[in-house]
Structure 1
Amino acid sequence: MEECRTSLYDTHVKYGGKMVPFAGFLLPVQYEKTGVIKEHMAVRTGCGLFDVSHMGEILCEGEGALANLNALLTNDFTGMYDGQARYSPMCNEEGGVVDDLIVYKIRENRYFIVVNAANKDKDFEWMLSHQREGAIFTDISPKVGQIALQGPLAQRILSRVSAEESIPGRYYSCVAEGKAAGIECLISRTGYTGEDGFELYMDSEKAPALWEALMEAGKEDGLTPCGLGARDTLRLEAAMPLYGHEMDDEITPLETGLKFAVKMKKEHFIGKEALEKAGNPTRKRVGLKVTGRGIIREEADIYIGDEKIGKSTSGTHAPYLGYPVAMALVQAENAEVGSCVEADVRGRRVEAEVVELPFYKRQV
């Protein structure tokens, strides 16, 4: 399959992006002048700029939109204010996760949904197969570009190209008809890095101009273009689950620690009966701090003594923290913080300790 290019492809090449295939697109894994660690640290201490145009965007509209979303997704979207965003898993009938996504209420009967890039077509087909009377799902992904401005200096930089009324004040909220550098955008206070920041959605053709305007606005603050590598190390350090790792069609949202986004008191949602029948989860997502020598990547068997208790789901060296970390799905009875475990890394045991999540939490 030939990879697609986002409208920012030439911009990435200009800035020295090392382009790699990802979720059907060619995207920068890192940039020549910086690299993953410098990009990671820029977001933790200053600000970074990401192309996230590969993500999928779907509209849900009509008088039945709210009822349809509440039946389709595990969270409850009743009572949201215009501009509010809400995270939710989307389950199958067995309680496994089809995908996790964010829903923005633009106004009554109109919702903007952002889904994972690799799952976009699957998600849209799933939504269409569960579309109810009075609701219409529309895939608008090809028309939409997305840029993420992330880090403690994000608001200061954004304020140089956006008026105050275009900048959302609350976390998980948006200004649906905002402007940045004169370009019409949906500007949301969200992100996937563990830092304060914004995600800007615009006509895909306008993304290069907005990228350059933000880079110019952030020049004095050292705004740094960032690639997929830093995006992954940042989300892992902040213990944000990733579809295909911490959740999938066979891992439930309750097993991966997303109970806050699963409203079991709702009358119905797809997967509710299966989750009720399963009862308390027998597996639990945990954090592991590596205390031995080595890095625990995904799919490593986790042991206590000779007993296999689970598998790692993601792992890397955490640049800001300065040591390797991993997340794992283990038997619930072995999930206690402070437990000492070992991971089988290519036939060698690497010691680790179960620690509280997230590994990193920004100071507010």
Structure 2
Amino acid sequence: MMENNKNIIKTILYDNHVNLGAKMVNYSGFYMPLQYTSSLIEHMHVRNYAGIFDVSHMGKFILKGKHSEDLIQYLTTNDLSKIKTGQAQYSCLINDKGGIIDDLVIYKISKEKFLIIVNSINIEKNKKWINDHINKKYHNIELIDTSRKYSLLAIQGPLSLFYAQKFTNISLEEICFYHFKIGEFSGIKDVLISRTGYTGSKGVEIYVSNENVKKIWNDVLKIKKIIPCGIASRNSLRLEMGYRLYGQDISENITPVEAGLSWIIKFEKEFIAKRILQKQKKEGKYKRLISFLVEEKNKIPRQGHLLVDENEKTIGYVTSGSFSPVLKKGIGIGYFFKNQKEINSVFIIIRKKKISIKMVKLPFIKINH
């Protein structure tokens, strides 16, 4: 049985999840709650009220030293010089061919200190890539992996700030989107409170030491309008916003240009593989991320489904698909093999049946932060 696999890591809150009746699964090498009640109930509760997620499996690096910003600037595509202390930035770490090693969020703690949140599946890979470049050129920089020392909670939903405000004197409404404060939360000092999240709904993410995470988790769940939510609803929530999932929608074989992430590529600065991405964008010869709706009832797109034209010629594939509880229809993202601008009719093959899809722009739903 899965519970006997000693290689799977338990978060500090594992027992809490089990006691709450969560169905536990192996997710990226961690025991994670898939759902507590149902993914549909949890999804809609986050969209209408508030839910709390344990996302402590995420990697957490501290990068510090005089030239820390220079190193991040070189290895990532976004422009870190545009943010100030107390701000966060979404970016991606790329290889020397322009492929996405990982997508990440960078928090500027001070001029020479940064918190970098990475995907759990990429912790060791990212660490090696960054350390290799430190050893080559930036010897006065230190990379510290705090992934197993700190936990991460996400409180998300339109009422999340209202309820979370009960636990802190920091004015959460005054923290702008992608900004953060460090202060007291639920009586715990030195907690990083960030206006970020992976659901698209209003919310905060809480970075806290392992020894204090249970208190915050238990205190927050004393509020009956906040329910615990699992990775199943987190996935459908992120997909409604069109957020890419590493290992499905993006990988080292896909560039940020192909992934529709050109908005986080700042060509006015120097960075690794800059010339490759410039050429790719200029020539337009690349596969293209697309997003679509399935209007036909009870037809849900899934990863691996093929996309075809009216002559049933395969022109692409689905990387993420799900039922949207808000739209009450199937939604998906994927890629065309070529950057085809004009295709009159696109179909998806579901159970050997050709079904018409409607191309739409992301996000699938609009939400105010």
Q: TM-score by structure 2 length?
A: 0.93
Instruction: Show structure 2 runs of 5+ residues with no match.
Output: none
1:291, distance to aligned residue in structure 2 (A):
2.2
Pair 1:59 & 2:62 matched: yes
1:307, distance to aligned residue in structure 2 (A):
2.6
Pair 1:247 & 2:250 matched: yes
Pair 1:21 & 2:23 matched: no
Can you list the C-alpha shifts for 1:76-120, whole angstroms capped at 9, x where unaligned? Answer: 111421110000011111111000000000011000000001111
Which residues in structure 2 correspond to 1:318-333 (within 5 Å)? 318-331=324-337, 333=339
2:271 equivalent in structure 1: 269
1:80 equivalent in structure 2: 83
In the TM superposition, structure 1's runs of 4+ consecutive aligned residues that sit over 3 Å from their partners are: 165-168, 331-336
Q: Which moved more, 1:325-334 or 1:79-88?
A: 325-334
Whole-angstrom CA distance in 2 between matches of 1:125 and 1:82: 26
1:311, distance to aligned residue in structure 2 (A):
1.0
Pair 1:194 & 2:194 matched: no
2:183 equivalent in structure 1: 178
Distance 1:199 1:307, change over 3 A: same
1:332, distance to aligned residue in structure 2 (A):
5.4
Can you list the C-alpha shifts for 1:272-301, whole angstroms capped at 9, x where unaligned? Answer: 122123233532211110023521101112
Aligned residues: 356
- The residue type paired with residue 182 of structure 1 is G
1:301 equivalent in structure 2: 306
- The residue type paired with residue 275 of structure 1 is L
Whole-angstrom CA distance in 1 between matches of 2:257 and 2:70: 23
Whole-angstrom CA distance in 2 between matches of 1:350 and 1:13: 40
Which residues in structure 2 correspond to 1:107-122 (within 5 Å)? 107-122=110-125
1:137, distance to aligned residue in structure 2 (A):
1.2
Which residues in structure 2 correspond to 1:87-166 (within 5 Å)? 87-131=90-134, 132-165=138-171
Instruction: Show structure 1 runs of 5+ residues with no match.
Output: none
1:164, distance to aligned residue in structure 2 (A):
2.5
Whole-angstrom CA distance in 1 between matches of 2:216 and 2:206: 9
Whole-angstrom CA distance in 1 between matches of 2:331 and 2:344: 15
Whole-angstrom CA distance in 2 between matches of 1:96 and 1:174: 29
1:333, distance to aligned residue in structure 2 (A):
4.9
Identity score, percent: 35
- The residue type paired with residue 284 of structure 1 is R
Q: Which moved more, 1:129-138 or 1:246-255?
A: 129-138
Secondary structure in 1 matching 2:98: coil
Can you list the C-alpha shifts for 1:179-237, whole angstroms capped at 9, x where unaligned? Answer: 11011311100000011101000001211110011112x32xx1110001000000001
- The residue type paired with residue 74 of structure 1 is T
1:288 equivalent in structure 2: 292
Q: Is residue 168–residue 188 contact of structure 1 (8 Å, CA) maintained in 2?
A: no
Whole-angstrom CA distance in 2 between matches of 1:263 and 1:50: 32
Secondary structure in 1 matching 2:166: coil
Q: TM-score by structure 1 length?
A: 0.94
Q: Is residue 195–residue 362 contact of structure 1 (8 Å, CA) maintained in 2?
A: yes
Secondary structure in 2 matching 1:160: helix
Whole-angstrom CA distance in 1 between matches of 2:146 and 2:112: 17
1:339, distance to aligned residue in structure 2 (A):
4.7
Secondary structure in 2 matching 1:202: strand
Distance 1:339 1:225, change over 3 A: farther
Secondary structure in 1 matching 2:213: helix
1:359 equivalent in structure 2: 364
Whole-angstrom CA distance in 2 between matches of 1:178 and 1:72: 30
